């Protein structure tokens, strides 16, 4: 084990050592998306049964982010306002939106192609986090971060806007994300021209990766599992040939782990949040939230040859991510796992300041991963 500028190296992984996202107004926000999806605010869903609370009592509250009432009313305070696509003046990265279906849209990010000498670029299909209850993929946080990542990695990024809970309980997010991945795969060589020239003209499908942070990392795992269980299910023989990127993944499990002591209140909230997004769940050992649970699909079927796991020291989910890596290695899966752990940082710290030293180091490792 060696160290370099505060970066601790582990073989075969790497360890480097929480900023909150920028806050907007404390007034509840409407989830305003591009035309494929609109939700009036305050949103209403079917009343939640079994909580024992009166209709207007709060069943889940995360300060500055969301409040969910037993009556079905939802108030979101952050992450619902979109920003338009553009060409970024600082990096030259261009972005544009595409509606795949009434439920699903994507934002594509393309680095300046003049600098590539005609070489095709790796493709990252990216799923945003937010505990399945927050954010549009088109908000200012993800737009800024993915513009930066596309520039640093020299990769095409396809950011997926999926339906969120509790208005649209799981498995809606998984189904929408699979639809988006299938759309991307429809542009693979040998299947016709495809409708999106950024993918057909500039995308290298021999380096197709999935990734996301928090709930988005959870989605990336499950899509890779589905691709492995249903061989040939993606259009035109497309494969997850690059790997999967799991940043601070939202996984839970039975029994307490040490990382949950870093923020007991948040540790409690992520369990409550899971029950809100998947009504009727069996709990924290539901295979959708615990890939290591009894009854979960065997991880050896994961449809990629490489996994990059990014962890943060003070993240309550850190030890679940570590356990995932241990379970994957023990499963008989034939691929390679790389681990990056950032000291002194919390869950999704990079979204609060993606220009800080730790975030830049993390993105440099991600960029190398995407370009192999």
The three-point CA angle 137-350-344 to 5° equals 150
Residue 347 a catalytic site member: yes
The encoded tokens of residue 131 equal 């505990």
d(CA 262, CA 250): 16
In angstroms, the first-to-last Cα distance of the chain is 24
Choosing from 88, 97, 161, 315, the catalytic residue is 315
Contact 188, 236 (CB under 8 A): yes
Active site residue 248: no
Question: Whole-angstrom Cα distance, residue 96 to residue 265?
Answer: 38
* Known catalytic residue at 41: no
Could you give the CA distance from residue 282 to residue 289 in angstroms, rounded to a whole number?
10
Strand partners, 338: 308
What is the distance between the alpha carbons of residues 277 and 284, in angstroms, rounded to a whole number? 12
* Catalytic residue, candidates 143, 221, 347, 350: 347
The single residue of 80, 95, 209, 214 carrying the catalytic annotation is: 214
Give the list of residues 6+ apart from residue 109 with CB closer than 8 angstroms, or none.
93, 94, 95, 146, 147, 150, 156, 157, 158, 159
The residues carrying an active-site annotation are 214, 315, 347
């Amino acid at each position: 084990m060696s160290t370099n500028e505060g970066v601790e190296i582990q073989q075969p992984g790497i360890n480097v050592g929480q900023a909150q996202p920028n806050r907007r107004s404390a007034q509840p926000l409407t989830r305003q998306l591009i035309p494929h999806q609109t939700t009036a605010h305050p949103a209403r869903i079917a009343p939640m049964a079994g909580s024992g609370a009166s209709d207007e009592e709060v069943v889940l509250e995360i300060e500055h982010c969301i409040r969910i009432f037993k009556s079905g009313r939802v108030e979101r305070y952050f992450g619902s306002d979109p920003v338009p696509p553009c060409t970024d003046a600082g990096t030259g990265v261009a972005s544009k939106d595409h509606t795949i279906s009434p439920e699903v849209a994507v934002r594509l990010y393309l680095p300046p192609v003049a600098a590539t000498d005609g070489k095709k670029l790796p493709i990252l299909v990216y799923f945003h986090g937010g505990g399945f209850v927050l954010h549009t993929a088109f908000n200012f946080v993800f737009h800024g971060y993915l513009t930066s990542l596309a520039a640093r990695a020299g990769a095409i990024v396809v950011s997926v806007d999926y339906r969120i809970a509790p208005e649209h309980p799981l498995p809606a997010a998984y189904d929408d994300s699979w639809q988006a991945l299938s759309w991307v795969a429809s542009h693979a060589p040998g299947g016709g021209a495809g409708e999106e020239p950024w993918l057909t003209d500039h995308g290298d499908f021999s380096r197709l990766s999935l990734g996301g942070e928090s709930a988005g990392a959870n989605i990336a795992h499950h899509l890779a599992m589905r691709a492995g269980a249903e061989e040939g299910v993606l259009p035109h023989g497309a494969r997850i040939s690059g790997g999967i990127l799991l940043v601070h993944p939202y996984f839970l499990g039975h029994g307490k782990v040490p990382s949950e002591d870093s923020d007991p209140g948040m540790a409690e909230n992520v369990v409550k949040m899971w029950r809100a997004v998947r009504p009727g769940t069996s709990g924290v050992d539901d295979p959708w939230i615990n890939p290591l649970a009894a009854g979960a699909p065997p991880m050896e079927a994961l449809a990629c040859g490489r996994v990059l796991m990014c962890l943060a020291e003070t993240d309550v989910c850190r030890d679940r991510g570590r356990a995932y890596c241990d379970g994957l290695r023990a499963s008989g899966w034939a691929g390679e796992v790389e681990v990056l752990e950032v000291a002194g940082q919390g869950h999704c710290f990079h979204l609060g300041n993606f220009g800080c030293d730790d975030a830049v180091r993390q993105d440099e490792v991600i960029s190398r991963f995407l370009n192999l």
